[in-house]
Amino acid sequence: MAKIRPSQGAPYARIMGVGGYRPTRVVPNEVILQTIDSSDEWIRSRSGIATRHWASDEETVAMMSIEASGKAIADAGITPEQIGGVIVSTVSHFKQTPAVATEIADRIGAGKPAAFDISAGCAGFGYGLTLAKGMVVEGSADYVLVIGVERLSDLTDLEDRATAFLFGDGAGAVVVGPSQEPEIGPTVWGSEGDKSNTITQTVPWDDYRNGTPEKFPALTQEGQAVFRWAVFEMAKIAQQALDAAGITSADLDVFIPHQANMRIIDSMVKTLKLPEHVTVARDVETTGNTSAASIPLAMERLLATGQAKSGDTALVIGFGAGLVYAATVVTLP
């Protein structure tokens, strides 16, 4: 019996560069209030959101991804030709096939990398990061581009008082490459499919095709159920990720949770008993909930503003529709 040659990858993997793209249009709460019976004070108190970005017709999923990717590749100090894999996490690319990752790979000049899309909601960046780490360590790619991108304004019901103010658009990207030290920790990930109806699409696409609903499909959620799950269950997952990495909250420099809601973020900080020295990403205030894009966008902003620095130890955790989650400890690029 022939023996298969073992893979020859890097000992470990790391995030080498990060980039982001926010659409040019900034949408304040006053715009949202034109279609729902609410107030700026109520929106801020319930979510912490003051503004969000909405994409124009020209700011497509591919275009935003390409802009974010270019910044990440430059930040990593490599060329597009060196990219051996492109992973895109999105729920708002409306073409069933081909994967938008293939278009992005071609347009950034990456040659012929492995390219595919994943659908893991707000945990999608964590899923993509874990897959990229495996590719680098396994040896199937030297450098992998991981993109989280959404145009959630296309899936927002502006007359739904519970969700109209939540969602925004944007793209975040990182380059994952080889490392001699462990700079992406073990991932704690999973799903709770029995709760999948708490965040979902109002109707499936085929119902819309058959003319059943009057409105275009949109995102909907059971707000209180999601809040309780995120605050109590995700704090446990975050702690498991710290334990898996062999560190404590006192060793952290930065906490970058999915930017779903400021109340969820603040509650997780309290439950985890994070020390005061830990910088906490609160990008949701001006960016809204951008699902798979929220963690890399928040990471980029912290680094760009100097609130975090290269070499910092960060805990990242994403959670959302499915219900799915992924948490890991990383060294910032």
Catalytic positions are 122, 258, 289
Torsion angles phi and psi, residue 78, rounded to 5: -120, 180
What's the CA angle centered on 116, arms 115 and 118, to 5 degrees? 150
What's the CA gap between 300 and 87, in Å, rounded? 18
Amino acid at 164: A
Point out which residues pair with 327 in neighbouring strands: 188, 317
DSSP 81: G
CA neighbours closer than 13 Å in the CB half-sphere of residue 80: 15
Structure tokens, 74: 């430059």
Structure tokens, 26: 């900034």
93 closest CA partner among 127, 51, 64, 129: 64
Is 85:113 a contact under the CB 8 Å cutoff?
yes
Pairing of strands 279-280, 114-118: unpaired
What's the CA gap between 42 and 49, in Å, rounded? 10
What's the CA gap between 108 and 149, in Å, rounded? 16
94 closest CA partner among 155, 21, 156, 165: 155
Instruction: Give the contacts of 95 (CB within 8 A, at least 6 positions apart).
Output: none
16 closest CA partner among 67, 70, 65, 72: 72
